[in-house]
Amino acid sequence: MAARTTTLGPRERRRTADRRFGARLLGSAAVAAVTAVPFGLLLVLVEGQWRPLRRLDVSAARRLHEIALEHPAWTSTLRFLSDRVWDPLTLRTAVALLTLWLLHRRAWRLAAWSAVTAVAGGVIGLLVKTVVERARPSLEDPVARAPGFSFPSGHAMTATTSFAVLLLVLLPVVPRRWRAACWGAAVLSVVGVGFTRVALGVHWFSDVLGGWLLGLTVVALTAWAFEAWRADTGRRPADVGEGLEPELTGERPEAGGGG
């Protein structure tokens, strides 16, 4: 007797794809903590107090601290950017508002990706800080202070994940002629965040580099999970230059859809 075959309907296929997407999304967030090869190498060098890296950290901290002391107006600008414009709370609020907007549009899976990426980045960064327990720079006549441990930089990591989420979600609704400018603004902001933290003497350069690398790892793995869901549902691969969900346009998606 011939084996009986069953064919899944569109609704069943969508539910199966959703389950796989959820598993991959959560799994990738957990794997991000242990699979970041560049970050892992940097962590080994930091923990082992590798002399070339230590010399770079100390020389950068001292030179930028001298500039900060010599130019109070410049230092005040850096503090404003670090504590107001690029503050983690400000960036997380922006991502939260974006997630609410996606929920309003019924872009359920894209909203889930946004939320999980932001939360995973924050939790993983805090866990690594707790495990490494690296002290912040200790400088004479400090121009700024920050609580907690130093590695990786929470500001740098939050900026990396937040601007990546904002960029990869909103690119489809940005006119093509403005997309290069959006990429430039995001990269400039992420680099700027890192610079302010070192210039203000509250982080070593390697702390900032670690925040960038770990943030990129989280985004890359959760984005991979999202792209895997698109493949499961038969959608074409999305180019990074057009965002995670190119179908997200100014038109409201139908219920049940919406990447």
Catalytic residues: 155, 203
Rg of the chain, C-alpha, whole Å: 21
Q: Helix 176-199 and helix 72-80: axis angle, to 10°?
A: 120
Could you please report the per-residue DSSP string of 35-76? --HHHHHHHHHHHTT-HHHHHHHHHHHHHHHHHHHH-HHHHH
Which pair of structure tokens corresponds to residue 232? 């499961």
C-alpha 30/C-alpha 36 separation (Å) is 11
Q: How far apart are alpha carbons 10 and 8 in whole angstroms?
A: 7
CB atoms within 10 A of CB 88: 18
Answer yes or no: are the C-beta atoms of 218 and 117 closer than 8 Å.
yes
